[in-house]
């Protein structure tokens, strides 16, 4: 069977098994880009590697029940999708958000396999979470939920088996509550969770890592094109950790970020986002981006309901480059056409799969455009989580500068590996092909070595 027919058959099997459009989108993006290596090396088809890769090794689904402040019982669904352990312990975040379901977590876990492989560190791929919504909940309610969630999760994780981290809705506070419960249930004080507090096992630079890493990757991508970030005007979506520290590193690199957003709308600040004000509103007051606009004289706030139908308003701002750092499918074909016509010539994905397949095809079709795909560009977060695991195993803590230096080196290596792999397989400059093949080859070869298990 030809590589193309093989890939189409695998994608058809996903459609038949379940109605999982987000996972299907992720699988389509990855598998289609693997055609060059599957054509060149028949062993992957002979060992049914794709058939194995699209099915998680284990899926854990459980009930989570906790009491709210009024004493009323609340019930949520909890998940842990353990996709691949070919390269090491399962590794991937936990997301608490009403949108969480099995389809979403399978997409995230599948992406995590290749992202973790690209870092060069020994990590498998997983993802988990719950449809619990922390928004509007009291501190005590969030603590009780986290403890109830860990009652089940603790049975399937461990420092050498599965090491979760945070994701949307799960920050240092939630990790702290879960780690405390894990420690009480198991008696272990180890590196089972990452994103821990600095005074009890966390790593310096972990909070900054995804945003910093995305900018480091972008800098390498532009340098290869004999360009740079100095003087570039950049649009950034989101207003969480990824967006905040993308903005911070952009300033350090001489660029000017001018936008932030959340689910209610976006802010355009022509003078450049006031980083300290943003941190105060998001990290201290836990406010919304509309609060930023109220406190900043020249900032313009646009509500999401005012966006043109089918578009994301943040991408209407003229810029040199864009950093989608909020959520999946936030950048569609119409959005990228608007960005391009307004002068944007590079996109680096800070979020997971923020661009639709049509938007990606458009970016790759333009010879004057540079695209950094998520599994390469946003791998800095999970890479630094693994650096936290290394520190935990040696019972030590490295300086911020030491972690940041290692992060910078990892991101540079990811870019070079992706770039050289794309060139090797006759797709020079296509970092989607390069990153997917580079990540796949390492995992697939390990699976063959381990046998049929």
Q: What is the pLDDT of residues 202-230, one digit of tens each?
A: 999 999 999 999 999 999 999 999 999 99
Q: What is the pLDDT of residues 131-152, one digit of tens each?
A: 999 999 999 999 999 999 999 9
Q: What is the pLDDT of residues 46-102, one digit of tens each?
A: 999 999 999 999 999 999 999 999 999 999 999 999 999 999 999 999 999 999 999
pLDDT band at 160, cuts 50/70/90? very high
- Residue 344: predicted pLDDT: 98
Burial 159-197, CB ≥16 within 10 A → b, else e: eeebbbbbbbbbbbebbbbbbebbbeeeeeebbbbbbbe
* Spatial distance between the Cα atoms of 213 and 210, rounded to a whole number of angstroms: 5
Q: Active-site positions?
A: 127
Share of the chain above pLDDT 70, in %: 100
- Residue 330: predicted pLDDT: 97
Phi then psi for residue 353, to 5 deg, are: 50, 55
Q: Per-residue pLDDT averaged across 296-311, rounded?
A: 95
* Spatial distance between the Cα atoms of 163 and 201, rounded to a whole number of angstroms: 14
Cα separation values, 7 from 28, 33, 272, Å: 9, 10, 45
pLDDT band at 309, cuts 50/70/90? very high
Q: What is the pLDDT of residues 388-447, one digit of tens each?
A: 999 999 999 999 999 999 999 999 999 999 999 999 999 999 999 999 999 999 999 999
Q: Which of 257, 212, 191, 228 has its CA nearest to residue 394? A: 191
- Residue 120: predicted pLDDT: 95
Q: Which of 176, 181, 160, 242 has its CA nearest to residue 207? A: 242
Q: Per-residue pLDDT averaged across 355-359, rounded?
A: 97
pLDDT band at 294, cuts 50/70/90? very high
H helix or E strand, kind and range, residue 80: strand 73-84
Q: What is the DSSP letter of 120?
A: T
pLDDT band at 379, cuts 50/70/90? very high
- Residue 82: predicted pLDDT: 98
Give the pTM.
0.94
Paired sense of beta strands 90-96 and 256-257, if any? unpaired
Phi then psi for residue 115, to 5 deg, are: -60, -45
Phi then psi for residue 34, to 5 deg, are: -90, 0
DSSP secondary structure string for all residues of 174-218: HHHHHHHHHHHHH---SSSSSS--GGGT--TTTTTHHHHHHHHHH
* Spatial distance between the Cα atoms of 163 and 129, rounded to a whole number of angstroms: 13
H helix or E strand, kind and range, residue 44: helix 43-46
Which residue do the tokens 């009323």 mark? 72
Q: What is the DSSP letter of 308?
A: P
Do 241 and 205 form a contact (C-beta atoms < 8 A)? no
Which residue do the tokens 């005074």 mark? 199
- Residue 357: predicted pLDDT: 96
Cα separation values, 236 from 169, 242, 418, Å: 20, 10, 24
- Residue 15: predicted pLDDT: 96
- Residue 37: predicted pLDDT: 98
Give me the chain's average pLDDT, please. Answer: 97
Q: What is the pLDDT of residues 326-354, one digit of tens each?
A: 999 999 999 999 999 999 999 999 999 99
Q: Which of 278, 287, 336, 341 has its CA nearest to residue 311? A: 336
- Residue 22: predicted pLDDT: 97
Structure tokens at 346: 């590079």
Q: Per-residue pLDDT averaged across 364-378, rounded?
A: 97
Cα separation values, 346 from 138, 414, 415, Å: 41, 18, 15
Q: Is 71 left (phi over 0), alpha (psi -120 to 50) or beta?
A: left
* Spatial distance between the Cα atoms of 375 and 440, rounded to a whole number of angstroms: 12
Structure tokens at 271: 């003078």
* Domains annotated on the chain, with CATH: 3-53 (no CATH), 58-188 (3.40.50.10860), 209-372 (3.40.50.720)
Q: Per-residue pLDDT averaged across 311-323, rounded?
A: 98
Structure tokens at 312: 């994301």
């Amino acid at each position: 069977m030809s590589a193309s027919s093989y890939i189409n058959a695998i994608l058809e099997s996903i459609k038949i098994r379940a109605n999982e459009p987000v996972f299907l989108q992720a699988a389509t993006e990855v598998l289609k880009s693997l055609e060059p290596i599957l054509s060149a090396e028949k062993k992957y088809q002979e060992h049914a590697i794709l058939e194995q890769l699209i099915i998680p090794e284990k899926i854990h689904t459980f009930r989570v029940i906790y009491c709210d402040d009024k004493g009323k019982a609340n019930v949520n669904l909890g998940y842990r999708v353990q996709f691949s352990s070919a390269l090491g312990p399962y590794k991937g975040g936990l997301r608490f958000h009403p949108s969480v379901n099995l389809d979403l977590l399978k997409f995230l876990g599948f992406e995590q396999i290749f992202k973790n492989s690209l870092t060069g560190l020994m990590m498998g791929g997983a993802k988990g979470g719950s449809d619990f919504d922390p928004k509007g909940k009291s501190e005590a309610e969030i603590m009780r939920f986290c403890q109830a969630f860990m009652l089940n999760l603790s049975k399937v994780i461990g420092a050498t088996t599965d090491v979760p981290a945070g994701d949307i809705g799960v920050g240092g506070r939630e990790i702290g509550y879960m780690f405390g419960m894990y420690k009480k249930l198991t008696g272990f004080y180890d590196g089972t969770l990452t994103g821990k507090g600095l005074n009890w096992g966390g790593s310096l630079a972990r909070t900054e890592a995804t945003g910093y890493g995305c900018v480091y990757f972008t800098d390498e991508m532009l340098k290869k094109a004999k360009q740079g970030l100095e003087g570039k005007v950049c649009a950034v979506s989101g207003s969480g950790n990824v967006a905040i520290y993308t903005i911070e590193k952009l300033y350090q690199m001489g660029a000017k970020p001018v936008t932030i957003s959340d689910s209610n709308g976006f802010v355009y600040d022509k003078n450049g986002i006031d980083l300290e004000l943003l941190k105060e509103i998001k990290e201290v007051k836990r406010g919304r981006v509309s609060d930023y606009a109220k406190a900043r004289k020249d900032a313009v706030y646009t509500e999401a309901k005012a966006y043109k139908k089918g578009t994301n308003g943040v991408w209407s701002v003229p810029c040199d480059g864009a950093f989608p750092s909020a959520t999946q499918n936030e950048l569609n074909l119409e959005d990228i056409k608007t960005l391009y016509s307004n002068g944007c010539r590079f996109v680096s994905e800070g979020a997971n799969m923020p661009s639709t397949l049509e938007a990606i095809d458009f970016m790759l079709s333009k010879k004057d455009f540079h695209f950094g795909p998520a599994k390469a560009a946003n791998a800095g977060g999970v890479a630094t989580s693994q650096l936290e695991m290394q520190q935990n195993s040696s019972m030590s803590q490295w300086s911020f500068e030491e972690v940041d230096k290692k992060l910078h080196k990892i991101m540079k290596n990811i870019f070079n590996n992706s770039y050289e792999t794309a060139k090797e397989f006759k797709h020079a400059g296509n970092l989607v092909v390069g990153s997917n093949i580079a990540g796949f080859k390492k995992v697939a070869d390990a699976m063959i070595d381990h046998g049929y298990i």
